[in-house]
Amino acid sequence: MLSLTDSVGLLKGVGPKMAQDLASMDILTVEDLLLHFPFRFEDIKERELTEIADGEKVVLKGIAVSEGIVNHFGYKKNRLLFRLQQDGVVINVTFFNQAYLASKVILGDEIAVFGKWDAKRRALTGIKIIGSQSKEDYQPVYHVVKNLSQARLVKLIKEAFEQYSAVITESLPAQIIQQYELLNRETALYAMHFPKDEEVSQKARRRIIFEEFFYFQLKMLSLKEKEQQKKAGQRITYDNQKLKQLIQSLPFELTAAQKRVTNEICRDLLAPYHMQRLLQGDVGSGKTVVAALALYAVITAGKQGVLMAPTEILAQQHFVTLSQFFAAVPEVHVELLTASTKTKARRELLTNLANGQVNLVVGTHALLQPDVNFADLGLVITDEQHRFGVNQRKILREKGTFPEVLFMTATPIPRTLAITAYGEMDVSIINELPKGRKPILTKWVRPGQMSQVLQYVGEKLAQGDQAYFISPLIAESETLDLKNAEELFAELSSYFKNYRVGLLHGKMKNDEKEAIMAAFKAHELDVLVSTTVIEVGVDVPNATLMVIMDADRFGLAQLHQLRGRVGRGSKASLCVLVAEPKGENGKERMKIMTQTNDGFVLSQKDLEMRGPGEFFGSRQSGLPQFHLADLARDEELLDLAQHAAKELLQRHGELLTTSPLKERLAQQVFTSYFD
């Protein structure tokens, strides 16, 4: 009985050596082979000389008006030369290191050559001879290993289709294929490798991409549904009148985005299902205000709230902000719990948490200790949630009776990534900044202009401002010619003799890092030289200058996060990118940074340039490894697939227990926030 899970070694001509070569390309089964798609196609339709652009790859057919001459030069190097005549025009053809093709060049015979056209020399640099007549106009080009030729791989794929086409079963429900006008699976797979034309190729791509997105979204949504059924929400009936009064008493008006997001969270609190929501907003967009309102809503219902931050200094900052926010609200009792909390104060706090006298606690990992218990925990908010492990988030969630959960992040995530990476959550986006915030001016300078930068920084320090200097490396590297933090610290300490310069990097102990950051915040340091450890976190309103050395070494998202460390106060701020990019990609990143302060625009550009795996800085981001789908390019199909998955769950959820949907869903593997 044939099956697509059969070893590729069962195909004709695949011996142990070829099986090993295929395995190195992650091709172990017949299905793996069929899903090893070409990365591009060569259009090998015959062309007339008048149609061809310089540098274009084309097929030219003509009469051989000379025999092939082979010249040898260098070690194992050769050149095959002959002439081809088309419509009275003679073309010089050159093949490098393919002397064996000389036997195919026969004087007076018609021959077709695929190669790269040089208009100025009226010459063709040959890639392959395809005979006097090509059978296919559209030929696939694959990623292959050294010992496996394109021709052999194509032959193998054709053999696989001949033997196994009968067992390529449809994996999508008939109603979805019909509704979204998709090719059937067998036709699409074959056309992915051997399309008749561009139109068929696009239809095949559309089907395969849709299928990949559909099954991933279906898995995510079914997981979310199970989670909601398993853990019924608390249905928190908060006092809407009190919440409105607090909002009206604020010394500023909420932005439209803050109002929208607050309403989304409040709807979740009232709903019978368990809230799992991601709140994302750019630096300075006002996420903390929204978090405070959500916490207050829960408190008006007689429950407790908790806000967990990844570092002590961030927790301290949130504590101060929330204490000020609720200063005139007597029913809110805010406390701080960190590793630094003294034993006596900690014991008293834990007692008051357990009996309900403290209804809002801000803290760090110290909140996860077994002896931290709540009287009635209603809402858990995790700031910069990606800094915590799955188990840590789980411990905090389990301290109450399934409290509602809100994750916050200041890293703007492109919509397509949010749908996939956080597909089992609801996503709220604050996509506007409060009125009156001054945009950060960004300048790109070359290293040769550094003296002017230092002079300007000196002038600002004399006015009482503070500055960050960012280096991509901690210590000197033998392989990379980059400005390292220790060398930069020494240089700046010497240059700014009358000012206090500090150094911060990731190899320091946590308490050391926090002490230095606290000193900078307290203006006990004027200049802070740092690696990227400061990219998320502390507000230092007096810091108005950010100088990023070798800025082209960073992605757009990271540059934007670094830039967001300034511009936190009322003063105008400047970010200087010091870079001499070698490639066009680096230059483009520098230009984009100077053109926009919108983190969501930058995150989308970053996704397009670097790809989803690198966007999160790690391949272990939980994102699926799609064969064909591209989160930056295929947004429209992602939307369609998500819609189809939602509709199927709502109308035909029973199909999830039947084959092939059940089997395909079982194959979807990714990291869930519910694990």
Reported as a single tens digit per residue, the pLDDT across 184-196 is: 999 999 999 999 8
25-39, 145-159, 342-356, 479-493: which has the minimum mean pLDDT? Answer: 479-493
The 10s digit of each residue's pLDDT in 314-371 is 888 899 999 999 999 999 999 999 988 999 999 999 999 999 999 999 998 888 888 9
Q: Which comes out higher in pLDDT, residue 518 or 283?
A: 518
Taking domain 45-135, whether its CATH number is 3.40.50.1010 is answered by: no
Residue-level pLDDT at 671: 41
What CATH number is given for 441-596 in this structure? 3.40.50.300
Amino acid occupying residue 257: A
pLDDT at 135 over 70: no
Average pLDDT over residues 398-418: 79
> What CA–CA distance (Å, rounded) separates 462 from 497?
12
For residues 140 and 193, the model is more confident at: 193
Q: Which part of the chain has CATH 3.40.50.300?
A: 240-430, 441-596
Q: Please determine, for residue 231, whether its predicted confidence score (pLDDT) is greater than 70.
A: no
As a whole number, mean pLDDT of residues 64-70 equals 92
Going by the DSSP 8-state scheme, the letter that residue 536 receives in this structure is S
Kindly report the average pLDDT of the chain as a whole number: 85
DSSP labels, 53-66: PTT-EEEEEEEE-S
Structure tokens, 420: 């996939």
Concatenated DSSP letters of 313-332: HHHHHHHHHHHHHTTT-TT-
Q: Is the pLDDT score of 645 beyond 80?
A: yes
Give the least confident one: 118-132, 324-338, 488-502, 539-553: 118-132
**Does 351 or 538 have the greater pLDDT score?**
351
At how many degrees (to 10) do helices 287-300 and 256-270 cross?
Answer: 30
Average pLDDT over residues 267-274: 88
146 pLDDT above the threshold of 50: yes
Asked if residue 524 lies in contact with residue 546, where contact means CB atoms within 8 angstroms, the answer is no
Q: Please, what CATH class does the domain formed by 240-430 belong to? A: alpha beta
Q: CB of 379 within 8 A of CB of 298?
A: yes
Alpha carbons 639 and 478: distance in angstroms, whole number:
47
Reading across the β-sheet that carries 466-470, which strands appear in turn? Answer: 441-445, 574-578, 543-549, 466-470, 527-530, 501-504
Confidence of residue 281 (pLDDT cuts 50, 70, 90): confident
pLDDT at res. 91: 92
Q: According to CATH, where is 2.40.50.140 located in the chain? A: 45-135
pLDDT tens profile 384-406: 755 555 555 566 666 766 788 89
What is the model's pLDDT at position 443?
A: 96
Which pLDDT score, from 0 to 100, does residue 675 have?
A: 36
Structure tokens at 393: 């988030």
Contact 354, 327 (CB under 8 A): no
pTM of full prediction above 0.85 = no
pLDDT of residue 389: 52
According to DSSP, residue 273 is labeled B
Residue 669 has pLDDT above 60, yes or no: no
562 versus 74: which is more confidently predicted?
A: 562
pLDDT in tens, 566-612: 988 778 899 999 999 988 888 999 999 999 988 888 888 888 877 66
Evaluate if residue 122 carries a pLDDT over 70. yes
| Distance, CA of 619 to CA of 597 (rounded, Å) | 27
Instruction: Burial-class residue 115 by CB neighbours within 10 Å (0-12, 13-18, 19+).
Output: buried
Q: Would you place residue 619 in the very low, low, confident or very high pLDDT band (cuts 50, 70, 90)?
A: very low
User: Helices 312-325 and 510-521: crossing angle, nearest 10°?
Assistant: 40
Can you give the pLDDT at residue 503? 93
